[in-house]
Amino acid sequence: MRRETQNLLLLLLGGALLKIALGGSYLRYVKPSLFPWLMASGLVMVGLAAFAIVRDIRASGAGGHEHNSRSPWMLLLPVFAIFLVAPPALGSDSVTRDRPAAPQAPAEPRFPALPPDPEPLLSASEFVTRVIWDDSGSLDGRTVRLQGFVVHPTPDTAQLARMRISCCAADASPVKIDLAGAPQAVGLPADTWIEVAARLRPGTATEANDYVPTVEVLTLRTIPAPPDTYEY
């Protein structure tokens, strides 16, 4: 590979990292806490590329020799693709393809009390974790709000789902909640974002159904997709 191509590739890679970090699309790939590392990596790569380009310009001006090997420009295509095409965050296709991971027992065995609001907003992960591990019955008879995207396991059923990641999209696992009494959800396209007010059907999350609880939907409305679609 010619030195000029190496420098250009390094510059484009650094620029691509800065673009997805500053534009917020990095949240489709990694968790928010990695933002400083993406910025630092992008700045270092751009700085190294700029230093190498200036060095080569000075060397050529001093009579440096040329390299005659053909440049492998095809290596630059994936980098250009980052600038032109941004893959979407993981959605219903990933949920229907992967089995949900059973939530791990919390480090602190006792759960804090639910917020006193009549309909507190819980993440899907917290809700399912409470369903499985909280034996105090804190969810019994309580109305809670949940947000996620629509998944259709079968044409006449609907689930609310979120993707949970530990580090990046490569380790994502689905969190799923069956929706009962929600015919409007069945009619919505997959990946439509919704918020439901619902109550748990006790005893519905079992090992046999991969710990997927069922809720009775009281109200349902569509919402815009959040900037960060993952849970952690």
Return the top range by mean pLDDT from 57-66, 68-77, 127-136, 210-219.
210-219
Q: Which residues pair with 231 in a beta bridge?
A: 164
pLDDT, tens only, 82-93: 555 566 666 777
CA 168, 173, 176: angle at the middle one, nearest 5? 140
- Residue of higher predicted confidence among 2 and 17: 17
DSSP lists the bridge partners of residue 216 as 180, 199
Asked if residue 70 has pLDDT above 60, the reply is no
- pTM higher than the cut 0.85: no
Of the candidates 78, 83, 84, 59, which has an alpha carbon nearest to the alpha carbon of residue 3?
59
Residue 133, both tokens? 């591990």
- Cα 103 to Cα 98: distance, rounded to the nearest angstrom: 15
Q: Which is nearest to 148 in space by CA: 188, 117, 181, 110?
A: 188
* Across 117-129, average pLDDT: 95
The pLDDT value given to residue 69: 47
